[in-house]
């Protein structure tokens, strides 16, 4: 299926979400943010999907936020309609129930790197560049570049990009732990699909729970992760089934502590 400027293709247990605005190197605007949210909802709702891939159409992964989309906004509009809105959507992608693999087929800069940062695994083509150039424009990373990226890549790496304006090659990014693998030009999607198939062959319930457990250990939205884990566990008990049936039958529940 296609949702605006983000395409969703499903093959077997793998969903591929493609950011599709190649004439702008997949620079993000409000329509694309909404389309990313719709894509996340589609993947989340499909019980057959065990892993998802995120990539860009054409020669770029994402050049970040389109300056034309936010440059003329009033400060309060910029803070709410752009930064907070985008932050919520990126969080939605980062907390997908299934593992997410990013295929970095082109540069991932600013918001594009923050988008890549929502993935659990990142595979980059050898020619790409990675960085956080926002302070050169007099602004700051706003889609969790100073939060999620610090937790996932380390504070010093983010300092070098955000404070020093350093731009890393794919090989440098791999050495720093920003990407997990580097492949030849034109092969990121194929490599990501191979890795996705490797993930999809594993136990889907275990994958979902392990992803939540890792998020807890990494200090990412601990409350949501803990409550999701607890809810999954309780939902499988005989007590919950008895509670639902007794409510429907308008009688007192007879709990037995059945797991």
Q: Crossing angle of helices 85-94/30-45, nearest 10°?
A: 30
Q: From the candidates 42, 125, 134, 220, give the one annotated as an active-site residue.
A: 134
Count how many Cα atoms sit within 13 Å of the Cα of residue 58 in the half-sphere of its side chain. Answer: 15
Q: Is 68 exposed, middle or buried (0-12, 13-18, 19+ CB in 10 A)?
A: exposed
Catalytic site includes residue 114:
yes
Q: Which residues contact 65 (CB under 8 A, 6 or more apart)?
A: 27, 28, 29, 82, 86, 110, 111, 143
Q: From the candidates 42, 114, 125, 208, give the one annotated as an active-site residue.
A: 114
Q: How long is the chain? A: 259
Catalytic site includes residue 166:
no
d(CA 100, CA 34): 19
The residues annotated with a catalytic role in the active site are 114, 134
């Amino acid at each position: 299926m296609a949702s605006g400027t983000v395409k969703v293709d499903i093959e077997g247990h793998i969903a591929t979400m493609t950011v599709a605005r190649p004439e702008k190197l997949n620079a993000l605007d409000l329509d694309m943010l909404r389309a990313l949210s719709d894509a996340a909802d589609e993947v989340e709702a499909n019980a057959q999907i065990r892993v998802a891939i995120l990539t860009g159409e054409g020669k770029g992964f994402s050049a970040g936020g389109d300056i034309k989309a936010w440059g003329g906004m009033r400060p309060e509009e910029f803070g709410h309609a752009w930064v907070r809105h985008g932050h919520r959507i990126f969080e939605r992608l980062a907390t997908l129930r299934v593992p997410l693999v990013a295929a970095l087929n082109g540069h991932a800069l600013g918001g594009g790197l923050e988008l890549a940062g929502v993935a659990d695994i990142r595979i980059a083509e050898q020619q790409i560049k990675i960085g956080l150039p926002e302070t050169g424009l007099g602004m700051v990373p706003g889609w969790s570049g100073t939060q999620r990226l610090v937790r996932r890549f380390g504070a010093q790496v983010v300092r070098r990009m955000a404070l020093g304006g350093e731009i890393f090659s794919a090989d440098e990014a791999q050495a720093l732990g920003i990407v997990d693998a580097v492949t030849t030009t034109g092969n990121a999607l194929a490599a990501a699909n191979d890795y996705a198939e490797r993930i999809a062959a594993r136990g889907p319930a275990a994958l979902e729970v392990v992803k939540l457990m890792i998020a807890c250990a990494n200090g990412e939205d601990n409350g949501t992760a803990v409550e999701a884990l607890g809810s999954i566990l309780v939902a499988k008990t005989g007590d919950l089934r008895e509670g639902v049936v007794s409510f429907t039958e308008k009688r007192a529940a007879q709990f037995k502590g059945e797991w």
